[in-house]
Structure 1
Amino acid sequence: MFRLPRLATTATVAAAALTLLAPTAATAAEPTLSDPRTVAHFNHSAGESPENIALEPDGSANVTLSFTRQVVRVDKHGSHRLLAVLPAVQNARPPVFSGAVVMGIVRAKDGTLYVNYATGTSETGIWRIGPHGGTPVQIAQLPPDSLPNGLALDEKLGVFYVADSQGGVVWRVPLRGGTATTWAAGTALQRLSSGFFGANGIKVHNGAVWVSNTDRQTLLRIPVRHDGIAGTIETKATGLADIDDFAFTGQDDTVLAALLGDEVALVRPNGTHVTVLTSPDGLSSPTAVAVLEKQDDKDPKEKDKEKDKKEVKTVYVTSSSYFDVPGDPNLLTARLDHDGDNGSGNGNGNGNG
């Protein structure tokens, strides 16, 4: 098994980078996390490492188990249901890993699931799974030597964005499937020569594609121009050691980021960050975060009238246990509180989950 080193570098990008800012204490006006609890455990000895997550409207979580090539659905009570198994591939040898791995996952509005599969062969690419599970179907190929990690879906534009951790690029693929094209590239997306992962997590948010770079410890923003072409890469936060995937807490640019060193960090729009969850809360090499607005029985019209009402959402975190022995791969939830109207979370994996 590989191990990620702790690195102390920053990305070089075309746009001016923000100054490295040390973690600081939370302020009263920003989101807070409380009541963390582990809702589901996975079998570490069987290689069940929950890697990425996409949420159902009812709060169930669709989770990729990277090494077993499985996609499972975990309900709110922690019960697992197998949805699909990606096909076994002979002589699979993707970058970094010793065998085929299923990585990022997103959910379309009709319930269809899409996952990234890395094999080192022609099976590397995006695969489609029906809303109720079944046999996965490959809809797009990516280069065999790529490592498709994070996956984002913009249904309005009808495209996927794929973070390639090995090639250090963002691929763009039509929603219907087909040919992948390089959408964004540059040093800021590349891995370090002594590292393992460049571009990793990816989300669509507020007219831009956001990407984390694990080796360079950065969170990046790439504007989507009116013609669909990538704008100049901007560095929004630095010093995020071993950052993996992330999610937005609402309509502004506040982020919850999974850090593989057993932390979840709240990253403010100004680039500073503070630790909000750690291993005593149940984390074990966390890899992904998703946010779902709480579903309750209050009339939406009444909720709209309460502008000063504190928002309550649920945060989900997958812990892969990649580096912890003995390991505890699990799915954790926590309560996200926010004063005022910060916008609705999006738990379908298309931008905030």
Structure 2
Amino acid sequence: MPRSPRAAATAVLAFGLVAAAPAPGSEPVVTDARVVAHFDLAAGRTPENIALERDGSADLTFASARQVARVAPDGRTRVLATLPAVADPATPLVGSAVVTGIARAQDGTLYVNYATGTAATGIWRLSPTGGAPERIAALPADGLPNGLALDERRGVLYAADSVRGTVWRVPRAGGTATAWAVGEALEPLRAPSASGFGANGIKVHRDAVWVSHTGRGALLRIPVGADGAAGPVETRATGLEGIDDFAFPGQGRSVLAALNSGSRVVLVRPDGAVVTVLTARDGLSNPTSVAVRGRTVYVPSAAYSTGRDPNLLLARLRQLVDHR
């Protein structure tokens, strides 16, 4: 969730509804946190979103640098691609051109959202064999495509627009974007003190599209009908102030969510209970997203408001949760 200075200032919110860490004597859900890579804030290497490679490497979008990079398990980092510069970028809420969400296909193809405030805004594809990034779908220049998710079974991509309150659906091969889900539940709050960010992170999980709403501090679920249409938006959790992107650590409905403004990662259980599992003491600095592979948890931090140490943190999932 790239931040303008104003948005960063307004995003420091109260966390009264979020549960505290586990009670003394209980076993922590996540342990052995360690930062494996530090990034150059001055160079715009602010990691916004993450996808995982089969060897455990992490593909990151560096929002402000307009780059996609790969971080090996030992922390070595190499830039895979840089999105083309645009003249006079005017991305809503941000001002600059930023690379946001990322999704990886089984064949190694990477898809990223590029928000510019110009005609270059859209979903771009990076071939696993190399070459220049290619735009496969245009998205509105006055929006902010943020989270990105791929449903390979249905052959579609979903992009969450933080400004227009829309989930866009695009054929994986490219083509015209369709407003798949819209409505008040996805729109940013209109209060003067609001951050301006609505729908943000997005995942496809068990015949539904899940979306985080930053302004509402909520986790939403949108069923996918047999015909591919969006069902009614369901609120599955609230009190998640500053929520950015998230991941499912199991096959059930428990979620690990990055709370950007509070530099925390929390576990949201199916009954709505929330437990803090990682904090700034572990190395988080405005975490933006979460990924899970087996028992390894990956958390990039962009340092948007802290201004300190954008990084990639790895930790161990001590217990697999919610397999149902």
User: Normalising by structure 2, what TM-score?
Assistant: 0.92
Distance (Å, rounded) in 1 between the aligned partners of 2:154 and 2:280: 39
Q: How does 1:1-353 map to 2 (within 5 A)?
A: 1-2=5-6, 3=8, 4-6=10-12, 22-23=18-19, 26=22, 32-193=29-190, 194=192, 195=194, 196-260=196-260, 261-293=262-294, 313-325=295-307, 327-338=308-319, 342=323
Shift of 1:46: 1.6
Residue identity (%): 59
Shift of 1:133: 3.9
- Decide whether aligned partners of structure 1 residues 44 and 21 sit closer, same or farther in structure 2, where only a CA change above 3 A counts: closer
The C-alpha deviation readout for 1:270-311, integer Å capped at 9, x for no partner, is: 111011100010000000100011xxxxxxxxxxxxxxxxxx
Distance (Å, rounded) in 2 between the aligned partners of 1:314 and 1:288: 14
Distance (Å, rounded) in 2 between the aligned partners of 1:133 and 1:35: 35
- Decide whether aligned partners of structure 1 residues 141 and 29 sit closer, same or farther in structure 2, where only a CA change above 3 A counts: farther
Distance (Å, rounded) in 1 between the aligned partners of 2:21 and 2:79: 41
Aligned length: 313
Distance (Å, rounded) in 2 between the aligned partners of 1:65 and 1:25: 30
Code of the aligned partner of 2:154:
L
SS in structure 2 of the partner of residue 280 of structure 1: helix
**Contact between 2:68 and 2:80, CA under 8 Å: does it hold in 1?**
yes
User: Which ranges in structure 2 are unaligned for 5 or more consecutive residues?
Assistant: none
- Decide whether aligned partners of structure 1 residues 80 and 123 sit closer, same or farther in structure 2, where only a CA change above 3 A counts: same
- Decide whether aligned partners of structure 1 residues 251 and 66 sit closer, same or farther in structure 2, where only a CA change above 3 A counts: same
**Contact between 2:166 and 2:181, CA under 8 Å: does it hold in 1?**
yes
The C-alpha deviation readout for 1:303-328, integer Å capped at 9, x for no partner, is: xxxxxxxxxx1000000000013x10
**Contact between 2:28 and 2:277, CA under 8 Å: does it hold in 1?**
no
User: Normalising by structure 1, what TM-score?
Assistant: 0.85
Runs (4 or more) in structure 1 with deviation over 3 Å come to: 6-9, 24-31
User: Which ranges in structure 1 are unaligned for 5 or more consecutive residues?
Assistant: 10-19, 294-312, 344-353
**Contact between 1:191 and 1:198, CA under 8 Å: does it hold in 2?**
yes
Code of the aligned partner of 1:322:
Y
**Contact between 1:8 and 1:216, CA under 8 Å: does it hold in 2?**
no
Code of the aligned partner of 2:29:
T
The C-alpha deviation readout for 1:77-116, integer Å capped at 9, x for no partner, is: 1001110000000011110112100000000010000000
Shift of 1:23: 1.2
Code of the aligned partner of 2:255:
V
The answer for the alignment partner of 1:300 in structure 2 is none
SS in structure 2 of the partner of residue 188 of structure 1: helix
